[in-house]
Amino acid sequence: MREAFRRFARLAAEGVGSPAAFLLGVLMTLVWAASGSYFHYSDTWQLSINTGTSIGTFLIVFLIQNTQNREAKVMQLKLDELIRAVQLARTELVQMEALTDEELDGLQREFQKHRDGAMKNLEQITIARERRSRG
């Protein structure tokens, strides 16, 4: 059942994210709006669009969430494989999801220092290139 739902969720997410689905939604809304005068803009007329969109949104949220969860898992596994494959990488970071917020904050500060250092190196490279191009 899980595999069948995964396939259905993926196909449904692709379908509702398509231009054709958007156009169908616009068309349905226009038909609903145009039918208002025929139904004298009654409460039932208004309730039909409210109910339809609420049920549709409710169901689509689960399908999209399933697809996003799977994509996030796949991305995490790819990153884990890259970390594992790089010799200098700290393989203990593969389990980052289990770290506390404080530990994650510490890692974020550490990586910010690395980014700052990389920016300084990039600035020095840019300055050196400019000097070479002038001289």
**Given this model, what pLDDT does residue 6 score?**
83
Q: What is the mean pLDDT of residues 14-35?
A: 93
Q: Between 34 and 94, name the one with better pLDDT.
A: 34
**Given this model, what pLDDT does residue 127 score?**
93
Note whether 106 and 95 are within 8 A (CB). no
DSSP 18: S
Structure tokens at 102: 């404080």
Torsion from C-alpha of 55, 40, 27, 56, nearest 10 degrees: 0
pLDDT in tens, 26-83: 999 999 999 999 999 999 999 999 999 999 999 999 988 988 998 998 898 888 888 8
Measure the CA–CA gap between 116 and 105, rounded to whole angstroms.
16
